[in-house]
A = this chain, B = another copy of it.
């Protein structure tokens, strides 16, 4: 009912009388008033003018399902939306949905996370109303070693959304970070439940520091607001990310991984650079040469030996 009222007001440029709302969606005028009060509490600015009716002045930058759905235009991503003010971890919640056979494209977002996490059990700072922290359930027909392809796919999609909304340059630091001005503004985390023969489901976790102040972020990290110098709409960035995630997901289904690799290479922060990778207690140093067809990083050591790296932490060296 709430969603119906807000969508009526959205479509109407001027005022909409209580009587009209009442007729269109079958609710008493007292009922409308109650809903309007609720909407205001959620952050909607709605003007009520005697004899003219209601008018929507502003929608809140809150991850409300009705805000996310509005003109989203996707077929898979965000078809089911679970939205929380507080959650331990959107990953864990989405994982439970995966076990319970929820369809792919189901998303879980939260305004803050108590135990937000990054790769390898590291924590992900998730201050309330500042960033985007969401997870997507996917069920692609792939083998477990292909899961990392979806980290790149997601990085490519979210990078585009960031560029679209902010106009900032944004690069992908293999395997899972998004950088603006060489500072980390986002990260992707891909988890799965799998047999050796097939992935049962993937959970893609996306964290973006949108309007977060630098002083509450880890060193080396930044936010879009800090880099751009102005606030960014979280809800628009989420929606744009979902649209582009869907586009690349469909592209992957139709044409495989190679067009995505191509995009990933174009906007790589590591290719062509001298890097050091720490992975599984092994350190590899050399020049990042290429991404192979699986998304693995090819590194040429000083000895000339070419090493294929599946995972690890990259540091650029000079």
Residues of A whose CB lies within 8 Å of any CB of B are 119-120, 141, 143-145, 147-148, 151, 175, 189-198, 279-280, 310-312
Select one of B147, B193, B196 contacting A151, CB under 8 A.
Answer: B196
Please give, as numbers and ranges, the residues of chain B lying within 8 Å of A120 by CB-CB distance: 195, 197-198
Nearest-CB distance from A291 to chain B (Å)? 14
User: In this complex, what residue of B is CB-closest to A145?
Assistant: B145
Q: In the complex the two chains form, is B195's CB within 8 Å of A280's CB? A: no
Chain B CB within 10 A, most for which of A120, A145, A151 = A145
Q: In the complex the two chains form, is B280's CB within 8 Å of A141's CB? A: yes
Also in contact, A147 and B197, with CB within 8 A (given A141-B280, A280-B141):
no
Q: For the complex, what is the distance from the CA of A193 to the CA of B193, rounded to whole Å?
A: 5
Q: In the complex the two chains form, is A311's CB within 8 Å of B192's CB? A: no
Q: In the complex the two chains form, is A147's CB within 8 Å of B190's CB? A: no
Q: For the complex, what is the distance from the CA of A196 to the CA of B311, rounded to whole Å?
A: 8
Select one of B193, B195, B310 contacting A143, CB under 8 A.
Answer: B310
Also in contact, A193 and B195, with CB within 8 A (given A141-B280, A147-B144):
no
Q: For the complex, what is the distance from the CA of A280 to the CA of B145, rounded to whole Å?
A: 14
Please give, as numbers and ranges, the residues of chain B lying within 8 Å of A189 by CB-CB distance: 195
Q: For the complex, what is the distance from the CA of A310 to the CA of B120, rounded to whole Å?
A: 26
Please give, as numbers and ranges, the residues of chain B lying within 8 Å of A197 by CB-CB distance: 119-120, 175, 279, 311-312
Please give, as numbers and ranges, the residues of chain B lying within 8 Å of A191 by CB-CB distance: 193-196
A-B contact pairs, 9 of them (CB 8 A): A119-B195, A120-B195, A144-B144, A145-B310, A190-B195, A191-B196, A192-B193, A192-B194, A192-B196
Q: In the complex the two chains form, is B147's CB within 8 Å of A194's CB? A: yes
Q: In the complex the two chains form, is B141's CB within 8 Å of A144's CB? A: no
Q: In the complex the two chains form, is B147's CB within 8 Å of A175's CB? A: no
Please give, as numbers and ranges, the residues of chain B lying within 8 Å of A192 by CB-CB distance: 144, 192-196
Please give, as numbers and ranges, the residues of chain B lying within 8 Å of A312 by CB-CB distance: 197
User: In this complex, what residue of B is CB-closest to A142?
Assistant: B280
Please give, as numbers and ranges, the residues of chain B lying within 8 Å of A145 by CB-CB distance: 143-145, 310
Please give, as numbers and ranges, the residues of chain B lying within 8 Å of A144 by CB-CB distance: 144-145, 147, 192, 194
Select one of B119, B196, B198 contacting A175, CB under 8 A.
Answer: B196
User: In this complex, what residue of B is CB-closest to A99?
Assistant: B95
Please give, as numbers and ranges, the residues of chain B lying within 8 Å of A143 by CB-CB distance: 145, 280, 310-311
Q: For the complex, what is the distance from the CA of A196 to the CA of B189, rounded to whole Å?
A: 8
Please give, as numbers and ranges, the residues of chain B lying within 8 Å of A310 by CB-CB distance: 143, 145
Q: For the complex, what is the distance from the CA of A148 to the CA of B197, rounded to whole Å?
A: 8
Q: For the complex, what is the distance from the CA of A191 to the CA of B200, rounded to whole Å?
A: 10
Chain B CB within 10 A, most for which of A151, A175, A192 = A192
Nearest-CB distance from A114 to chain B (Å)? 17
Please give, as numbers and ranges, the residues of chain B lying within 8 Å of A198 by CB-CB distance: 120, 311
User: In this complex, what residue of B is CB-closest to A295?
Assistant: B196
Q: For the complex, what is the distance from the CA of A141 to the CA of B311, rounded to whole Å?
A: 13
Nearest-CB distance from A295 to chain B (Å)? 9
User: In this complex, what residue of B is CB-closest to A313?
Assistant: B197
